[in-house]
Structure 1
Amino acid sequence: MDRIRAFLVAVAIVTLCGVPQVRSTASDHRYKAGDEVPLYANKVGPYHNPSETYRYFDFPFCSSAPVKEKKEALGEVLNGDRLVSAPYKLEFLTEKEAEIACKRKLTRDEVVKFRKAVSKDYYFQMYYDDLPIWGFLGKVEKEGKTDPADYKYYLFKHLVFEIHHNKDRVIEVTVRSDPNALVDLTEDEPVDVDFMYTVKWKETNTPFEKRMDKYSLSSSLPHHLEIHWFSIINSCVTVLLLTGFLATILMRVLKNDFIKYAHDEESADDQEESGWKYIHGDVFRYPKHKSLFAAALGSGTQLFTLTSFIFILALVGVFYPYNRGALFTALVVIYALTSGIAGYTAASFYCQLEGTNWVRNLLLTGSLFCGPLFVTFCFLNTVAIAYKATAALPFGTIVVIFLIWALVTSPLLVLGGIAGKNSKADFQAPCRTTKYPREIPPLPWYRKTIPQMAMAGFLPFSAIYIELYYIFASVWGHRIYTIYSILFIVFIILLIVTAFITVALTYFQLAAEDHEWWWRSFLCGGSTGLFIYAYCLYYYNARSDMSGFMQTSFFFGYMACICYGFFLMLGAIGFRASLLFVRHIYRSIKCE
């Protein structure tokens, strides 16, 4: 049975971990004069709504007969790609001048459909020998008019392809529309359209290995993502100085506490204790809802491991520009393979807290993150189906994801849980816990949970605030993010700041003789996720042009899942740091 399970996991890795990208029919991308180079039409959609995309032939373009669909990888389908054979023939080194691809008579309804698309700045995307190309469907002429009823709407009917080659390989391709070849769509009347295209070939010395560099450095439609180095360095230095300042104060206060408690032990053994030493009999009392706590810790640890692996793949160059399908595949596969970490962490910690129903704990661990994600997906996929958008996953893809969950994720979760249950590790508490808990003294409002979460989340959020815009512009726009080394540095700073601020707030909580620090440390560590979601509101209203029910629901729905994942991951980091700190300080004093 173990060999069969290992074989299934190996097959899943080999099948899914391949870098998903648009593959040409010629595997080596080498062609001879006159060879047909694969050209695929992908999708169309409003420029400002990246999630609202439709199949290319949902619009009455010129079509080849029959239209052939290209088999796509898992990541491409998740990314909303739906590639079909394009109506234009671009043979290698074969120039064409104003050739007619097809003639079409647009009906009144088709004219209205095209006009609506032009008014919303619809663009199309194609792939030529794995290279992406874009163009807009048409243009709107306002001519100083303020009344939209007086606008003129035009459809571009002539595309000019300019292709650069280096000997027998395609290096670069661009497409532009002939501004003089227009079809007037202003009136709701049928029109005749001759869809034409021109092909021009030019030679270049750029090597084949560097043909994707253009999309990293500059591109026509997706603007290059320029990193403001000075702003990032300034933000990081400020945050590190604040963190260092806080750590210095904390260390000085702790040093004074240790000296005071040591002096009290020597001078008067019966002297009444105060401060955090006073609650040494309660500080390691197990938290309420310990099964939920262990499940949250296990899920957060898994997401941290997932993020670490994603950064490793990014730093070695797997996620190069316009290979975004690779990211979705990596997320699905790595999340499935790391589910054993969640099961082991949750079950092990739950048993350390003297929990008995570890099976229920495993079920809670498996559904804590996947449950909300599944509910969100069901709703958003229904919206996409209603819109007939490419974001709606086909039934076959849903079956594949279900099989990955059933054959990989769930078994590994159970195996990890069994290993965690059998680890028989004891919870290491340097102080004995009393039978009855002490009463927590009244605390001022700013020491309550919500104000503490607000203080804990602000400083880590300030460390990533500048970088968030560029990430959002890449994920929810057409910009390109390529400098993953900077993002990795920001992520490390985020972890450090989260750990330090959570430890500091835990100390102040214990000094106020409040021993219920377990959940507080987790909530304070994860509160940065709430700040990120608040930033989503700002970004949507002030920094983007997204609109419409589908785009809005996709943005806030999936960002809620992402921020929830950040909450679990950073909450686990905050609790782990606080646990190490609490164990250290209570190990350093004499507790009876």
Structure 2
Amino acid sequence: MASRAIFIFCCLIVWSHLVFAYKQGDAVPIYYNKIFSLKNQLTYSYQSLSFICSAQQDARKKSLLVFDQDFRGDRLIQSDYKLNFLENQECKLLCKKTWQIEDAIKVEELIADEYLVEWELDGMPGATVSYTNEAPEHNYRIGFPLGFKKGDLTFINNHVIFQILYTVNTNQFGKYDIVGFEVYPDSISNGECSKKNIDYEFQQVTGRSTTVTFTYSVHWKEVKEDVNAWDPFLLPLNKERHNYALLNSIIVVLLVFSVIAVILLKTIHKDNNNQEDKDFKVYDDADDFVGWRLINRDVFRRPIYGGLLTPVMGSGIQLLIVLIGLIVCLYMGWYHPAQPGSLTRWFTLLYLVGSLPAGYWSARIYKLFRGKSWILNSILTAFVAPCAFLLIVFISSMITWSQQSSLAISFSGWVSIFSIWIFVLLPLTCIGAYIGERCERMEHPSRTTQIPRMIPAKRWYQLNIIRILLGGIIPFAVIFLNWHEFLNSVNKGEYVLSIDNTMLVSILLLIATSEITVVLVFLQLCAEDYIWWWQSFMIGASPAVYMFGYGVYFLVKRTNITGLVGVSVYVLNLVIGCGFVGLCTGTLGFLSAYYIIRKIYSSVKVD
């Protein structure tokens, strides 16, 4: 059942990426979506606004998952705009709307908060063209202003010009593909959208009852060159600055790798002709680094709360597969980061696929810890991380629901989440755990004594918290510039991304995390501290702590987000994102440390 569900899900993802061709005269529907603001994190359904031309039909257009739209606050309702393919229209009347005093007040509040309107056509969000110093060619920014202010006066954009870009479909004769949906707003008083004069009056928002006329025009523009419809949504990075950052990161990663190489040479390398003399020569001048040899009977002692470590580690493996899979799919061009919902759909698919190896390795490590109930462990693997994630989503949803925001997860969205969780994710995790339980138990290189060895007193720089803080500096430095650019682009409502740079930085982050965890855990063992299991995970997860800290700093110093609700939504989203990163890097740190420790203690004979 679970495998069939994944197959159907894959087919539907492929179906959602297909481009539907049009012929001349075909009706092209425009969907109302939402209004959003960069100053306020709350989004609202456009159809729910009382001052706009409401659509006659109120049925929501839902995606396969539903919750992928809810996470973005999308509420797609087919509008009453009448568009026919390749038919230009000028100054068409949509409706005349009578405003009450409450409507005018609401409009003024939304325009003061700089709310933008987002509609959709053929799966593409309506966008306005922007020009920047970094990118002189045109780029898209999603949405158009609901209105604008001039001094103390407020005006609403009651006229829109749709410019739809299309290309000839090379596979179907006489048909075309839509590759762009541009919206140019305007404010025109009394519905005189024909603009008989150069100077014309804007539609002012007054604090009294009035009638507002909403109009539109449609222009079709053929694009000759074959372009990706989503590329204009991406702004290019500053190549010189990011190349310098990449070079510095590579140098740092190589330096840490050299430290690991020295560690391995001093612990694993042997002279086959005279091993005893070789060991004496290696450690004669390294007395400060032989503590790890003294704890060989304790280093593989079962950790405290090992029954919780294995589900967390399993979820981390699941997210590692998601991260690597997303990078590969992005590089292969199987999805585009600017396409609405594509990231969520691929994330969900890869997360479900990763549940098999998550259950498998969680069961293998659980069996290594001599756990008694692999079924309970597999259930915890399927529930621990998703429960924490859904708890945060539920809190955020309750906050936004109290403000009547479209960011609140709908009932059908919750049904979709729990259906996938219970009927697909849980069975696949249990199947993977069953396979892992049937495998032969892994054996440690050295036996563990019944009485634990006393851990010597630590100096201040040997404290666990110091190692955790030190462990996150280098990996965070690797991704700092990209993390800053991401936060800055989200704050400005732009997409700043380079696929090649993203792939390289992600790989360097994983390598740096793995290396620094191995070094710090080895130094911990040299201090005769054998409680390293959880420590390796926390050292690996420490870059996420720095990411969260910088995200909060960015919120305070760089963003214009106002209000307790907006700040709460921002922080909760930051917790979710950094939590995912922490699980990935923490698990990678744990696995790296475990592999190196097994290598050391299996290769060096300790009496």
TM-score, length basis structure 1: 0.87
Residue 61 of structure 1: CA displacement?
1.0
- Which of 445, 453, 459 is equivalent to 1:430? 445
Equivalent residue for 2:185? 177
Closer/same/farther in 2, CA of residues 289 and 352 from structure 1, 3 Å limit? same
Report 1:221-260 matches (<5 A): 224-252=234-262, 255-256=265-266
**Contact 1:216/1:482 (CA < 8 Å) preserved in 2?**
no
Closer/same/farther in 2, CA of residues 20 and 397 from structure 1, 3 Å limit? farther
1:10 has 2:7 as partner: yes
Q: Aligned to 1:72, what secondary structure does the other structure show? A: coil
Residue 494 of structure 1: CA displacement?
0.7
**Contact 2:544/2:578 (CA < 8 Å) preserved in 1?**
yes
Equivalent residue for 2:129? none
Distance 1:525 1:113 in 2: 48
1:80 has 2:69 as partner: no
Residue 139 of structure 1: CA displacement?
0.7
- Which of 145, 165, 181 is equivalent to 1:136? 145
Q: Report the residue type matching 1:160 in the other structure.
A: I
Q: Aligned to 2:61, what secondary structure does the other structure show? A: coil
1:511 has 2:530 as partner: no
Q: Deviations over 1:348-372 (max 9, x none)?
A: 1111121213333223322221121
Percent of paired sites with the same residue: 25
Distance 2:384 2:322 in 1: 16
Equivalent residue for 2:297? 281
Closer/same/farther in 2, CA of residues 522 and 262 from structure 1, 3 Å limit? farther
Closer/same/farther in 2, CA of residues 442 and 58 from structure 1, 3 Å limit? same
Equivalent residue for 1:160? 161
**Contact 1:369/1:565 (CA < 8 Å) preserved in 2?**
no
Q: Deviations over 1:79-107 (max 9, x none)?
A: 32211222322323333332322112211
Distance 1:19 1:77 in 2: 20
Report 1:340-355 matches (<5 A): 340-355=356-371
Distance 1:180 1:234 in 2: 49
Q: How big is the alpha-carbon RMSD for the aligned residues of Structure 1 and Structure 2?
A: 2.7
Q: Report the residue type matching 1:318 in the other structure.
A: W
Closer/same/farther in 2, CA of residues 203 and 282 from structure 1, 3 Å limit? closer
- Which of 121, 126, 147 is equivalent to 2:119? 126
Equivalent residue for 1:29? 21
Distance 2:262 2:55 in 1: 76
1:197 has 2:216 as partner: yes
Q: Report the residue type matching 2:214 in the other structure.
A: F
| Structure 1 stretch displaced more, 451-460 or 373-382 | 373-382
Q: Aligned to 2:95, what secondary structure does the other structure show? A: strand
Q: Report the residue type matching 2:22 in the other structure.
A: R
Residue 550 of structure 1: CA displacement?
3.3
Distance 1:259 1:20 in 2: 58
Q: Report the residue type matching 1:156 in the other structure.
A: N
Q: Deviations over 1:371-426 (max 9, x none)?
A: 21121121111122222222122212211221111111111121122222221222
**Contact 1:376/1:557 (CA < 8 Å) preserved in 2?**
yes
Q: Report the residue type matching 2:246 in the other structure.
A: C
Q: Deviations over 1:100-133 (max 9, x none)?
A: 2211221111111111111111111122333322
Q: Report the residue type matching 1:347 in the other structure.
A: A
Equivalent residue for 1:380? 396
Q: Deviations over 1:244-267 (max 9, x none)?
A: 333334544654566899448779
Point out where structure 2 has 5 or more consecutive residues left out of the alignment.
127-142, 169-174, 190-201, 282-286
Equivalent residue for 1:56? 47
Equivalent residue for 2:341? 325
Distance 2:121 2:290 in 1: 73
1:42 has 2:33 as partner: yes
Q: Report the residue type matching 1:343 in the other structure.
A: G
Distance 2:373 2:593 in 1: 26
Report 1:392-471 matches (<5 A): 392-427=408-443, 429-471=444-486
1:521 has 2:531 as partner: no
- Which of 288, 310, 335 is equivalent to 1:294? 310
Residue 275 of structure 1: CA displacement?
2.5
Q: Report the residue type matching 2:404 in the other structure.
A: K
| Structure 1 stretch displaced more, 490-499 or 553-562 | 553-562
Closer/same/farther in 2, CA of residues 576 and 202 from structure 1, 3 Å limit? closer
Q: Report the residue type matching 1:10 in the other structure.
A: F
Equivalent residue for 1:148? none
1:97 has 2:90 as partner: yes
Distance 1:478 1:20 in 2: 25
| Structure 1 stretch displaced more, 276-285 or 407-416 | 276-285
Counting matched residue pairs gives 560
Q: Report the residue type matching 1:60 in the other structure.
A: F
Distance 1:319 1:334 in 2: 13
Equivalent residue for 2:193? none
Distance 1:247 1:68 in 2: 58
Residue 474 of structure 1: CA displacement?
5.3
Distance 1:438 1:361 in 2: 29
- Which of 322, 347, 356 is equivalent to 2:372? 356
**Contact 1:56/1:124 (CA < 8 Å) preserved in 2?**
no
Closer/same/farther in 2, CA of residues 247 and 197 from structure 1, 3 Å limit? closer
Closer/same/farther in 2, CA of residues 60 and 581 from structure 1, 3 Å limit? same
Distance 1:480 1:545 in 2: 18
Closer/same/farther in 2, CA of residues 225 and 19 from structure 1, 3 Å limit? farther
Distance 1:362 1:79 in 2: 31
Residue 137 of structure 1: CA displacement?
1.4
Distance 1:66 1:577 in 2: 56
Q: Aligned to 1:183, what secondary structure does the other structure show? A: coil
| Structure 1 stretch displaced more, 345-354 or 418-427 | 418-427
**Contact 2:90/2:217 (CA < 8 Å) preserved in 1?**
yes
Residue 311 of structure 1: CA displacement?
1.7
Distance 1:135 1:255 in 2: 61
Closer/same/farther in 2, CA of residues 249 and 410 from structure 1, 3 Å limit? closer
**Contact 1:162/1:202 (CA < 8 Å) preserved in 2?**
yes
Point out where structure 1 has 5 or more consecutive residues left out of the alignment.
143-150
Q: Report the residue type matching 1:53 in the other structure.
A: Y
Q: Report the residue type matching 1:455 in the other structure.
A: L
- Which of 376, 386, 396 is equivalent to 1:370? 386
Q: Aligned to 2:370, what secondary structure does the other structure show? A: coil
TM-score, length basis structure 2: 0.85
Q: Report the residue type matching 1:572 in the other structure.
A: T
Closer/same/farther in 2, CA of residues 405 and 357 from structure 1, 3 Å limit? same
**Contact 1:457/1:524 (CA < 8 Å) preserved in 2?**
yes
Q: Report the residue type matching 1:31 in the other structure.
A: K
Distance 2:437 2:544 in 1: 30
**Contact 1:456/1:525 (CA < 8 Å) preserved in 2?**
yes
